Amino acid sequence: MAKLYFSYSTMNAGKSTMLLQAAYNYRERGMRPLLFTSSLYVEDGIGLISSRIGISEPAELYGAADDLYHSVRDHLEAGKIDCVFVDEAQFLSPDQVWQLARVADRLKIPVMCFGLRTDFQGKLFPGSSELLAVADTLREIRTICECGAKATMVVRQNTDGRVLTEGEQVSIEKSVYVSLCRKHWEEAIGRWPVKGP
């Protein structure tokens, strides 16, 4: 039975690397994966899934108004699709999450989504919220805080290293994000004074 999967974490945990490795494994076995990424990640008119370790692969782009169920169904006309991979799944709309659920349920194609769970203010992204609600399988990809504890939160910094607590939810400049444990995130954004426990 095909399922909808959501693998989530903070920044720099290796989500895109895992996606690209899994897609490679499908191809190595003679299967056809279909890759999607957010239209926020277009480079020279091409969708690109890139990993910090230097690997990348072209992908179909999706925007907020796109119907992903119909897109996958259209791709099926060109040949069998064995798995759908979605990078930056936090940018999916709630409707698009349901469209991907229909891909699994009605087209019988597994869908693997990878993305952030929360933004720099500790709020769920709409796509992540819907995936947490309806995905068949949830998997946390772990990374660590500077203290060695599990990182579950992310802060956004300006170029001077000052932590930002306001602003638009979406900013794709990866260099301005730092993954932290909940305790250090609270201290960084000023929710808790740094005076002992």
* Residues carrying an active site annotation: 88
35: its two tokens: 């890759």
21: its two tokens: 């490795």
Q: Rounded to whole angstroms, how far apart are CA atoms 131 and 134?
A: 5
What is the DSSP code (8-state) at residue 52?
A: T
Q: SS3 of 100, please?
A: helix
Residue position matching structure tokens 């370790």: 53
7: its two tokens: 């693998």
Q: What angle do CA 61, 114, 35 make, to 5 degrees?
A: 35
Residue type, 178: V
